[in-house]
Amino acid sequence: MNEDSALVLFSGGQDSTTCLAWALARFSRVETVGFDYGQRHSVELDCRAAVRQSLASGFADWAQRLGPDHVLDLRFIRALGQSAMTEAIQIEMQNNALPNTFVPGRNLLFFTAAAALAYRRGLKRLVGGMCETDYSGYPDCRDDTLKALQATLNLGMESRLVVETPLMWIDKAETWTLARDLGGNALVELIKHKTHTCYVGDRENLHAWGYGCGACPACELRANGYKVFTAMA
């Protein structure tokens, strides 16, 4: 296993793109993995190649470090239960105080699949954009969850994989700031125009912070973070 390597869980959104830049700035070998789980906003999968190409063409040092991309088919997740992330239903809060965009077990499955891929490809670190500072309350984004998962994955595979979550303790405004620190205004503009976060898959409406419906929880977090970020600049 190459100690100076990483596999980034890369959706094509703001957070995972920032994490990809973070990994490219640190490790000599970086690969990416995306997941097709029948998501309602499948347009994010279409954005991935454009983001990777823009990073490679705009940042010469990173281009040399950026390795292959992988897309795994996890569409069986849709069969595990209805969610506003996989069905065209109204986004709302549930009785358990979680939004119905929560897909139970999604990140656990993502990391398990990514760990198996990293094991086969000799990649040391699994990098994800999970955060519990400024998020929708998903329990599989919490630091305790991912620390426990790291231990379980390593026990189950006799390995020493490291789960990295560079956004865990920062809010969305600080995520925009981190992107600027990593790649300057060029990376900020790339994230605004190339990435996708909106849960309903809106790529028609361009706002100051990027494309989206402007009303879903993902858009609200991204927009509010950008507002604070620009106010601090």
Contact 85, 123 (CB under 8 A): no
- pLDDT score of 99: 67
> Average of pLDDT values for 161-177?
97
Q: For residue range 187-221, what is the model confidence (pLDDT) as tens digits?
A: 999 999 999 999 888 999 999 999 999 998 899 99
pTM of model > 0.75: yes
**Topology of domain 2-195, CATH:** Rossmann fold (3.40.50)
Question: What is the pLDDT confidence band of residue 171, given thresholds at 50, 70 and 90?
Answer: very high
- pLDDT score of 77: 80
Q: Who wins on pLDDT, 136 or 47?
A: 47
- pLDDT score of 76: 85
**Cβ partners under 8 Å of residue 154, min gap 6:** 160, 161
Does residue 93 surpass a pLDDT of 70?
no
CA dist 50 and 72 (Å) reads 18
CA dist 131 and 54 (Å) reads 25
CA dist 185 and 91 (Å) reads 33
- pLDDT score of 87: 66
CA dist 209 and 219 (Å) reads 9
> Average of pLDDT values for 72-101?
73
Question: What is the pLDDT confidence band of residue 92, given thresholds at 50, 70 and 90?
Answer: low
